[in-house]
Chains A and B, each alone.
Chain A
Amino acid sequence: MGKFTTYETAWCPGCGNFAILNSLKTALEELDKDPKEVLMVAGIGQAAKTPQYISANSFCGLHGRALPAAVAAKIANEKLTVIVDSGDGDSYGEGGNHFIHNIRRNVNITHFVHDNQIYGLTKGQASPTSKEGHVTEVQTDGSMNTPLNPVLMAIAAGAGFVARGFSGDAKQLVTLMKEAISYPGYAFVDILQPCISFNKINTFAYYKSKVAPLGEEYDPSNKAAAIMTAMEGEERIPTGIIYREDKLDFHRKHNLLKDGKTLIEQERNTKVIEALINRFV
């Protein structure tokens, strides 16, 4: 048994979340991470329960608000390995604004989105990534909205690490997770996952027939090609690291943090405060 134990879950038997959780544990163990240095952050939803089921520090916050809490925790203490592990409703719906802006902020955290294209916890309404025409008990005539393409959006917004995985391809997923966690900046992985209870369209068989891992010849540093790749999805759904670019993260740019001393290690200096007081005299 590894360092990261799993606890009893409240997920449906056969849910794609199990495979993602297992891949995450494997990735963390293979990276030789210590549970006490890992902080798992989530919002609300079925996927957002993940931090409860793994032995690491956990911050289970509000719906859609995992990212702001996670980036600030990382800003406070760079030594923590901060991973947001949450769903498509949480990350793209309620938390859409934070998704865009934290790409811009580029704090060194990892963001895994369990993307099952449906709202699971609230029992089956359309999510921001649901296909057009997807009929649910709320979208009774089928979803009329254009689905978001989170991978394309992340590249367009300027993310330095953008990948897509599939819960049914554990070997690739572990590799993607390890790469993402090791990437020095905001790393985003959209993970396709069937919801066996509420999504009868994007089933395991559906994904299995469409998912196409990118080959070795694919160059993730070519942004134009990455955008074209991200736009695919009808015939085949490419998985793997779709875009990767080196860029300075928040800590390397910030005056208070760039020398490596964490924010919580900065000491309150009475002399400085006295000097600040004196400026007003």
Chain B
Amino acid sequence: MYNLLLGGAAGQGIDTTVAILEKLLKHSGYYIYTTRDFMSRVRGGHNFSMIRFGTEKINSHSDRIDGIIALNDETIHLHKDKLTEKGFILCDSSLEYSDDRIIKLDMDKKAKELGNLRASGSIAIGAILKLFGEPFTYVEEVMPRVIKKDFLEVNLKAIQIGYDSVEPVFEHLEGPFKDYMLISGSKAVGLGAVAGGLKFYSAYPMSPSTAVMEYLAYIGNVSGVLVEQAEDEIAAINMALGASYAGARAMTGTSGGGFCLKVEALGFSGIAEIPLVVIDVQRPGPATGLPTRTEQSDLKFVISAAQGEFPRMVIALRNHEDSFYQTIRALNLAEKYQIPIILLSDQYLGDTTACVKPYNLEDITLTEPAKEAEGEYLRYRITENGISPRLIPGLTEHLVTADSDEHDERGWITESAEVRNNMMDKRMRKLEGLTLELQEPEFIGEEDCKVLLLGWGSTYGPISEAVSRLNKSGKGSYGALVYGDIYPLPKQNLEKYSKGRTLINVEQNATGQLASLIREQTGISCDRSILKYDGRQISGEEIESQVLEGGLD
């Protein structure tokens, strides 16, 4: 497994270079896992991406670097300490830095000679391919697919120049992942939404959730999903509710601060029983926090957001498979139970690109609203399972109501104590059915482990890597439960695996929100917490060392 870091200032083309390089490496058979670390600015600053690639499945980034591609001095200074002994630093000849591991190329000068300064990134790509022993042949196959026609020739020449400038250092490893997808978490959510029958997406741009909106807009004309950029967060969610009421499967997306503004309408979805999916791509808070960085600190907020009580569901996305399939499931469950469902992603998962098996559409069926009702139509009919007949206005002979006030079975305002009780009970009864649909947290590791790590959402990757490293280390036996469905909280696996074990919750927040939720709902307490909230994603290696340092075994 190898790990490359590309760093420079914003505006130097890191993203483009990384996007091309990761596709070339995947085409060569590698499994790819690329994380993105960038500052909240358009130009300057220090941004970097890490491409980790290998011949087996990769779940997270690594702190150990085999090669640095430095577009400026700062990149070298900031990251050289993590470079392995055999590693290299590739940079332009103009950089004044000396180290045994440095490889200087005339990238900028040669790019200028080629007539396109931006081609220096491609010279670096060529050099990287050669350093890792990749054959040149597939460059010609892949490049036309990833680069615009007008720029193809100059970039091919640039790659060739880079390729011819160095000698191989590492060995090409044979991997079977050529036919896998390479997709970011946020694009996977967008694709899942389309596969899940989405028709309407409204949002106000907010990092890092904007990536979902951008992707949906990009494919809007072919997918038939209408994306509307709302004037504010409140409009975005109320639009989604209006569209959903009128029969268009709808979703809205935001990040923590935007979710704050959507809260009243979340409750509206609950009482009016309008299906809705909201994705919160978390970032550190509170308020504006760290706009381009990562955290998992909205869990306690989203499970209790909005006044009053109503059934809802929260699903934390763990990886690039969940991002697709769970978005479809959320859209279906929202329709079936006529409730709001919140998907929790975060910047780390949203912006990371990874290999996944091509998504399979075969087993996907969509839950549709009823076409017609028999007898007297009551939109909010009291039923045993709490689900009332939802019809679509204009597509039925009946009139369809929606009301944010407490209402009777017809949907008319009421202040009757009896009706209030009946309506509250009806809505809350949905939880009985919903609980039966819950998916237990995935167990990873050794069945008879002594230490059990607990996590949720995007720490899935780092935690599973940590468990695997810990078990290989010979220092005890380890397992983990990582939650996807998190509210209502599934309890069976927890009860099964927690007995007699040391429990450590691993979370990207300061207070241990999962541990607190588990304690509240089950009485089970964690023995230790590994918490990180500096805006950077915890790695498998970091979890491993913190587990071992804690001396619990």
Which listed segment binds B: A56-64, A137-145, A154-162? Answer: A56-64
Q: A62 touches which one: B181, B247, B268, B358 (CB < 8 A)?
A: B268
B309 within 8 A of A: no
B206 within 8 A of A: no
Q: Is the CB of A60 within 8 A of B248?
A: no
Q: A69 touches which one: B191, B219, B232, B239 (CB < 8 A)?
A: B239
Q: How far is the CA of A269 from the CA of B198 in the complex (A)?
A: 11
- Proximity bits, B192-214, A CB within 8 Å = 1, else 0: 00110101101000000000000
Q: How far is the CA of A202 from the CA of B390 in the complex (A)?
A: 43
A268 within 8 A of B: yes
Q: Is the CB of B361 within 8 A of A274?
A: yes
B173 within 8 A of A: no
A24 within 8 A of B: no
Q: B182 — nearest CB in chain A belongs to which residue? A: A280
Q: Is the CB of A276 within 8 A of B246?
A: no
Q: How far is the CA of A98 from the CA of B222 in the complex (A)?
A: 29
Q: B245 touches which one: A10, A59, A62 (CB < 8 A)?
A: A59
B411 within 8 A of A: yes
Q: Is the CB of A72 within 8 A of B200?
A: yes
Q: B412 touches which one: A35, A52, A257 (CB < 8 A)?
A: A52
A97 within 8 A of B: yes
Q: A54 — nearest CB in chain B belongs to which residue? A: B399
Residues of A237-281 contacting chain B, CB below 8 A? 254-257, 263-264, 266-270, 272-278, 280-281
Query: Given A61-B268, A61-B402, A79-B394, A68–B248 Cβ distance below 8 Å?
Result: no
Contacts of B412 in A (CB 8 A): 7, 52
B74 within 8 A of A: no
Query: Given A60-B405, A69-B245, A76-B242, A35–B358 Cβ distance below 8 Å?
Result: no
Most chain A beta carbons < 10 A, residue from B195, B226, B397: B226
Contacts of A69 in B (CB 8 A): 238-239, 241-242, 245
- Proximity bits, B227-245, A CB within 8 Å = 1, else 0: 0101110111011111101
Q: Is the CB of A39 within 8 A of B393?
A: yes
Contacts of B228 in A (CB 8 A): 72, 75
Would you give the shortest CB distance from B421 to chain A, in whole angstroms? 21
Would you give the shortest CB distance from A83 to chain B, in whole angstroms? 13
Query: Given A39-B393, A73-B245, A80-B246, A255–B221 Cβ distance below 8 Å?
Result: yes
Contacts of A36 in B (CB 8 A): 393-394, 396-399
Q: A101 touches which one: B187, B195, B235, B404 (CB < 8 A)?
A: B235
Most chain B beta carbons < 10 A, residue from A36, A37, A97, A101: A36
Contacts of B399 in A (CB 8 A): 35-36, 55-58
Q: B183 touches which one: A37, A65, A268, A280 (CB < 8 A)?
A: A280
Residues of A99-132 contacting chain B, CB below 8 A? 100-101
Query: Given A69-B238, A71-B239, A75-B228, A277–B268 Cβ distance below 8 Å?
Result: no
Q: Is the CB of A65 within 8 A of B265?
A: yes
Contacts of A134 in B (CB 8 A): none
A189 within 8 A of B: no
Would you give the shortest CB distance from B263 to chain A, in whole angstroms? 11
Q: How far is the CA of A80 from the CA of B234 in the complex (A)?
A: 23
A149 within 8 A of B: no
Q: How far is the CA of A81 from the CA of B230 in the complex (A)?
A: 22
- Proximity bits, B174-190, A CB within 8 Å = 1, else 0: 00000111110001000
Q: How large is the interface on B (under 10, 10 to 19, 20 to 34, 35 or more residues)?
A: 35 or more
Q: How far is the CA of A39 from the CA of B242 in the complex (A)?
A: 11
Contacts of A62 in B (CB 8 A): 238, 264-265, 268, 404
Contacts of A58 in B (CB 8 A): 399, 401-403, 411
Query: Given A57-B394, A256-B220, A256-B224, A264–B265 Cβ distance below 8 Å?
Result: no
Q: How large is the interface on A (under 10, 10 to 19, 20 to 34, 35 or more residues)?
A: 35 or more
B136 within 8 A of A: no
Q: How far is the CA of A147 from the CA of B307 in the complex (A)?
A: 33
Would you give the shortest CB distance from B63 to chain A, in whole angstroms? 28
Q: How far is the CA of A254 from the CA of B224 in the complex (A)?
A: 11
Would you give the shortest CB distance from A192 to chain B, in whole angstroms? 26
Query: Given A58-B399, A60-B404, A68–B242 Cβ distance below 8 Å?
Result: yes
Most chain A beta carbons < 10 A, residue from B235, B361, B412: B235
Q: Is the CB of A71 within 8 A of B183?
A: no
Q: B227 — nearest CB in chain A belongs to which residue? A: A256
A164 within 8 A of B: no
Q: Is the CB of A264 within 8 A of B392?
A: yes
B152 within 8 A of A: no
Q: How far is the CA of A70 from the CA of B393 in the complex (A)?
A: 13
Q: Is the CB of B265 within 8 A of A273?
A: no
A41 within 8 A of B: yes
A136 within 8 A of B: no
Q: B181 touches which one: A49, A61, A281 (CB < 8 A)?
A: A281
Q: How far is the CA of A280 from the CA of B358 in the complex (A)?
A: 8
Q: Is the CB of B179 within 8 A of A59?
A: no
Q: How far is the CA of A255 from the CA of B226 in the complex (A)?
A: 9
Q: Is the CB of A73 within 8 A of B242?
A: yes
Would you give the shortest CB distance from B94 to chain A, in whole angstroms? 37
Q: Is the CB of B248 within 8 A of A263?
A: yes
A77 within 8 A of B: yes
Q: B402 touches which one: A56, A60, A97, A281 (CB < 8 A)?
A: A60
Would you give the shortest CB distance from B185 to chain A, in whole angstroms? 12
Would you give the shortest CB distance from A168 to chain B, in whole angstroms? 28
Most chain B beta carbons < 10 A, residue from A39, A65, A266: A65
B151 within 8 A of A: no
Q: How far is the CA of A189 from the CA of B413 in the complex (A)?
A: 26
B423 within 8 A of A: no
Q: Is the CB of B199 within 8 A of A263?
A: yes
- Proximity bits, A177-203, B CB within 8 Å = 1, else 0: 000000000000000000000000000
Query: Given A39-B394, A80-B393, A276-B219, A70–B242 Cβ distance below 8 Å?
Result: yes
Q: How far is the CA of A123 from the CA of B293 in the complex (A)?
A: 47
Contacts of B366 in A (CB 8 A): 268
What are 5 A-B residue pairs whose CB atoms fall within 8 Å in the complex? A39-B394, A72-B200, A75-B200, A75-B248, A97-B231
Please name 14 further chain A to chain B contacts, defined as beta carbons within 8 Å, in addition to the given A68-B230, A263-B243, A270-B361, sorted by A numbering.
A10-B413, A36-B398, A44-B404, A61-B238, A68-B238, A71-B242, A72-B200, A72-B238, A72-B243, A73-B393, A75-B228, A79-B394, A264-B247, A273-B191
Query: Which 9 A-B residue pairings sit nearest by Cβ, starting from the closest?
Result: A69-B242, A72-B242, A76-B248, A101-B231, A72-B239, A76-B246, A57-B393, A73-B246, A280-B181
